[in-house]
Structure 1
Amino acid sequence: MKKVIKLIWVLPILIFGCKEVKEEKPITPPNVIWINADDLGRELACYGNPDIKTPNLDQLAQQGTLYTNAYANAPICSSSRSSQIAGMYPTTINCLDHRTINMTELQDGIKPITEYFKEAGYFIANGSGRDYLKKGGKRDYNFIPDIKYPANDWSERAKGQPFFAQVQIKYPHRVFERHEQNPINPETVTLPGCYPDHPLLKADWALYLESVQKCDDIVGWVMKRLEDEGLADNTAIFFFGDHGRPHLRDKQFLYEGGLQIPLIVRLPEHVDAGKIDKRLVSLVDVAATSLELAGIESKHKMHGKVFIGDEQEKRDYVFGFRQRAGDAPDAIRSITDGRYKLIWNQEPERPWMQLSSYKRSEYPAFTVYRVLHKNGELKAPYNQFMADSRPEFEFFDLETDPHEFNNLVSNRDYQEHFNRLKSVLQNNLKEYDKNQIPESEETIQKGKNGSQKYFKTKMKKLGLPEAPSDEELLLYWNKTLIKAN
C-alpha cells in the first residue's frame, strides 16, 4: 500500500546555491491520535460561532485542515464509537441499537483497527482527557469481546515505539458544566434556527457552549503535552465529535444537528496548514484514513474512504443510521449528497416526541415543548415536532432549508433528486443492513426498563417525585437554569 503522506523531516537534498548535502533522517511511522469529544456539534469559533471562545481548537485548525462537511453516521455514542473503531457502518456489525443488549462478535473477518495497529508494532492507548494517567477513556463498543487497551497513556510504550492513542473528552456531554473563566450570557446567545426563542432553551444553550469551552481547554493541554514531549512533528491528530450536539431535535435523530460534527486534522509537519476542505466526509472514514497514514493495510474491506493524500477517495454520499435508544425504539435511515437530504422513517407511526426517559430527565427542551404544546403556545414550524406520527419520507433542500422544516417529498420540482437519493439509499441498505439483528419485544422491554429505572434514580437525585408532572419538571428547570443566572 502506498503511503498517502511522505513523512520527510528534512529539506530537499539539493537546494540551489547550497554546497552541502544533508543526510536524510530515517522515515519513521507517524503516531496517530484521535481526540474524541462527547456530543459535540460544530459550535466552535473556527466554524464561525461568535458566542464562544475556542482558542486551542482555532489554533489546531490553523495548523491543519478544517472539514466543513463532516458527519457522524449514527447520532448516539455507542453506535457511532463502534462504527469508528471498526471502520464499518453500525448496522453491518450489528451495533446500531444503543448499548446493544444482545451483542454479537464482529463477523466476516472484521477487526477493530486497534488490532491492525498492534500487528504493525504500534502501542495502543485509550485515556480520559486530563485524567489520562488515572482513568481509561470511554469505549462504549456494542460488540464482543471488548477491546483490551494495555494502557491509558502513550508514555508507557517502549522507547521509539509509534503509538495509536485515543483521548476521550467527556465534554460537552450532559450534565453541562460552567466555564468559570469565560462565562456566556444566555441573553445574548443565538439559538439555532430549529429552536424557538425561549429563555430556558437559551440558558441551556449557553451552558452547552461553556461545556464546549471546557473541551477546548483539554485540547490545549493535549497539544502542549505533545510539544513538550517532542512528539508534535511526527504525530497525526484527528479531532472530532463522536456525533452531533446534545439537544432535543439533534442527538438521537438524523437531522443535521444530530449528525453534523467538527473534524480537524493536523498532519506531521503541518501539511495543508490552514486549509478549509468542503468535501463530504463521514466519521466512518477516519479509521481507513488513519491506517493509510500509517502505511497499514486492513484485511477487511472497510466502508470508510481515505480522505487525505494521494490515495484519497471521493465520497458522493453520507449515510445516517438510528435504531433503539434507551426506551425509545425506532428505525431511521438517511442519505445526503451535501445539498439534498432524505430521511426514511421506517416506523413512521412512532412520534418524534415518544418517551425518551433520558431526554426527559436531562433535556429542558423536552419539558418546554410538552408544556408549550399543551398550552397551545408552541408555534409553527416548531410544533411539527409534536405530531402523533411522522411521514415515511422527509426530503429537504439543505441550501434553502438548513433547519429541515419544509418537507419536499410531494413537490414535483424535486422529484428527480428525491428518487435518486431514495434509490441510492435503498440499494445500499441491502448490504449495509443485512447483518442488523432486529431486537425482540422482550429485549426492547429490557431497554425500556433500564431507562425508566435511570429516570427514577435521576428524579430522586434532583429531589423530585419518581414520576413528576411536566409542570413540576418545568419549575425545576426554571429554578436551576434561570434563577441560577
Structure 2
Amino acid sequence: MNIKKTRITLLVCFLLFFSTLLQAQERPNILWINCDDLGIELGCYGNKDVKTPNIDQLAEQGVLYENCYATAPVCSPSRSSLITGMYPSAINCLNHRTMDKVPLPEGIKPITEYFKEAGYFCTNGKATDMTKWGKTDFNFETGNLFDGTDWNQRADGQPFFAQVQIFEPHREFYADKENPISSESVDLPDCYLDHPLIRADWALYLETVQHCDRRVGHFLTRLENEGLTDNTIIVLFGDNGRPHLRDKQFLYEGGLRVPLIIRYPKHFEAGKICTQLVSLVDVPVTSLAFANIPVSEHLQGKVFIGDNAEKREYVLGFRQRMGDAVDNSRSIMDGRYKLIWNKMPEVPWMQLSGYKKLEYPAYSIYKLFYQQGKLFYPYSLFMADSKPEIELYDIKMDPMEFENLADYPKYESIKKTLFSTLKSRLSEIEKGETPEHWEVTKEAKESSAKYYESSMRRRGLSSSSSYEDIIEYWEKKLSEKIEK
C-alpha cells in the first residue's frame, strides 16, 4: 500500500513538473538588444548614408517606433531607469556614475526579480563574448541581478529574459573597411558646424553603427539556428542618444531620441510604423506584460503595445551631473513642442567637460573658433556664458532646436501648459530625491580630471594642451577619413 501511494505521489509530482515545464515552454522569451549610444541613424529610420541590413530586416519583421525617447541622455541614469521601470530621479540615480550609491528605495526592485519569481532565467551578456557579463552601469547598490550571461545556461524549457549589450556605436569609433563612408559626401546634420574634422567624425560614427548592425545580425541568426525565433520577443533600442556635441548628455533630440524596434513573429504586425510617444521607462513595464507578469502600481512606465496599451501624452527628460559637468535640467515634450527647464541657467552649455574635450573633435573646434570670432550663428548660440531658464522649441518646424520660442507671446499658452505639467509631474516623481553632497560632487570632478589627464598623456598630450594642439591630434588621427 505504501509502495502504491509512493508511486501515485511520484506520478502526480511528475505530471505537475511536466505541466509547469510545458507552461514555461509556451511563455515567450524576451531579448533586449541594448546598443550603447545608438541614435536613429539607421536605414529603417531614413538615413541613406548608413548600411544597416540586419536592423532594417528586424524592422521589416516587427514594429518600428518613430518617437521613442530615453529618460536621460547618458548611460547610467538611463540604464538605472530601464532596469527598474522608474524615472532616474525618483530612485536617486540621476547623477551619472553615482559615487555614493545606496540601495533602491523601499518597495522598489529591479524587474529581473519579477521575472525570476515567474520562473524566467535572467541573463546579461557582452555581445562579443557571451561568457562575460555585459554592461550594467546602474547607479544604485546591488548584487548580481542576473542568473547568468547567456540564455543557453538555463534549464531545458525554461523561458528567459536576456539582455545583450552591444558596445557600438559608443566612442571611440572605428572604420568599417567593408562599407566605408565618404566624409565629403555624407549628409551632415544641420545641427553641426560643417567642418572637415566634424564630417570625418560623423562618417566614422556611421561606420561604427554598421559594426553594431553586424552584431545584431549575429544574434538574429543565432536565434534562428536555435529554433527560438518564433517564441522570442526582441526589443532593440539605444540606451541614450548619439555621442556628439549638443546630443549625448543634453536634453535635445540628439541626446534623447533613440530607436525602438520590437519583433514577435505571428503576434505583432510586421512592418508596422508607430508614431506614438514612447519613453524607455515604458520598455520594462511592457516587457513584464509580454510575459503576463502583473505590473506593480508603483512602476512609472506605461504598457504601450497590446490590448492594455496606454497612450502617452508626454515624454520627460532628466539631466544632472554628467561626470565633471554639473548641471540640473528637466524636459517635457508632447510630440511637437519641447520645453526644457534649466534649473542652473548660470551654467553654460559648453562648461568644461573632460569627456567631451577628450572624445569630441567638435568640442575643441567650437571653442577655438569662438575665441577667434569665427563661429557664426546658429552654432555660436551654444557658446553663450549662460542658458535661459526656459527653452521652448517647435520640433516639427525647428528639428535642430535653434530658435527658442519661450519669450514669444504667441507661444505663451503652450509654454505655460508644458511648464505647469512638468512641475506637477516632478513634484510627484522627485518627492523623495536626495541632493548629491558637495563632497561627492568634488570627488566625481576629481576622478574625471584624473581620467582626462591620464588619457591625454596616452595621446602624447597634456591636460594643459591648447585647442590647437588637440585639433592637430584629431587631424592626424582622422587623416585617412578626411582624405576620402
Give yes or no for TM over 0.5: yes
Q: Does 1:217 align with 2:201?
A: no
- Alignment partner of 2:415 out of 415, 418, 428: 418
Q: Deviations over 1:405-456 (max 9, x none)?
A: 1011111111111110001000111011222211122111101101010101
Residues 175-194 of structure 1 aligned to structure 2 (within 5 Å)? 175-194=172-191
Tell me by how many angstroms 1:217 deviates: 0.2
Partner of 1:32: 30
| Separation of aligned partners in 1, 2:72 and 2:172 | 21
- Alignment partner of 1:125 out of 123, 132, 141: 123
**Code of the aligned partner of 2:257:** Q
Q: Does 1:449 align with 2:440?
A: no
Partner of 1:8: none
What secondary structure sits across from 1:217 in the alignment?
helix
Tell me by how many angstroms 1:480 deviates: 1.0
Deviates more, 1:105-114 or 1:39-48: 105-114
- Alignment partner of 2:71 out of 64, 70, 73: 73
What secondary structure sits across from 2:66 in the alignment?
strand
Deviates more, 1:349-358 or 1:139-148: 139-148
Partner of 2:106: 108
| Separation of aligned partners in 2, 1:149 and 1:287 | 15
Query: Are the aligned partners of 1:63 and 1:266 in contact in 2 as well (CA < 8 Å)?
Result: yes
What secondary structure sits across from 2:147 in the alignment?
coil
Query: Are the aligned partners of 2:110 and 2:145 in contact in 1 as well (CA < 8 Å)?
Result: no
Query: Are the aligned partners of 2:316 and 2:332 in contact in 1 as well (CA < 8 Å)?
Result: yes
Residues 77-476 of structure 1 aligned to structure 2 (within 5 Å)? 77-133=75-131, 135-269=132-266, 271-476=268-473
Unaligned runs of 5+ residues in structure 1 are 1-23
Q: Does 1:60 align with 2:58?
A: yes
Query: Are the aligned partners of 2:85 and 2:300 in contact in 1 as well (CA < 8 Å)?
Result: yes
**Code of the aligned partner of 1:286:** V
Partner of 1:19: none
Deviates more, 1:229-238 or 1:190-199: 190-199
Tell me by how many angstroms 1:278 deviates: 0.3
| Separation of aligned partners in 1, 2:225 and 2:36 | 26
| Separation of aligned partners in 2, 1:76 and 1:25 | 39
- Alignment partner of 2:44 out of 34, 46, 49: 46
| Separation of aligned partners in 2, 1:466 and 1:197 | 27
Partner of 2:12: none
**Code of the aligned partner of 2:109:** K
Distance 1:26 1:365, change over 3 A: closer
Identity %: 57
Distance 1:25 1:440, change over 3 A: closer
| Separation of aligned partners in 2, 1:95 and 1:413 | 37
Query: Are the aligned partners of 1:85 and 1:113 in contact in 2 as well (CA < 8 Å)?
Result: yes
Query: Are the aligned partners of 1:30 and 1:268 in contact in 2 as well (CA < 8 Å)?
Result: no
| Separation of aligned partners in 2, 1:123 and 1:268 | 21
Tell me by how many angstroms 1:131 deviates: 1.2
Query: Are the aligned partners of 1:79 and 1:97 in contact in 2 as well (CA < 8 Å)?
Result: yes
Distance 1:255 1:423, change over 3 A: same
Tell me by how many angstroms 1:187 deviates: 0.6
What secondary structure sits across from 1:468 in the alignment?
coil
Unaligned runs of 5+ residues in structure 2 are 1-21
Tell me by how many angstroms 1:150 deviates: 2.3
Tell me by how many angstroms 1:46 deviates: 0.4
Matched residue count = 461
* TM-score, length of structure 1 as denominator length: 0.93
What secondary structure sits across from 1:32 in the alignment?
strand
Query: Are the aligned partners of 1:64 and 1:266 in contact in 2 as well (CA < 8 Å)?
Result: yes
Query: Are the aligned partners of 1:396 and 1:407 in contact in 2 as well (CA < 8 Å)?
Result: yes
| Separation of aligned partners in 2, 1:109 and 1:52 | 44
Over the aligned positions, Cα root-mean-square deviation in angstroms equals 1.4
Tell me by how many angstroms 1:301 deviates: 1.9
Tell me by how many angstroms 1:130 deviates: 2.7
Tell me by how many angstroms 1:271 deviates: 2.0
What secondary structure sits across from 2:128 in the alignment?
helix
**Code of the aligned partner of 2:323:** G
| Separation of aligned partners in 1, 2:297 and 2:444 | 32
Query: Are the aligned partners of 2:25 and 2:158 in contact in 1 as well (CA < 8 Å)?
Result: no
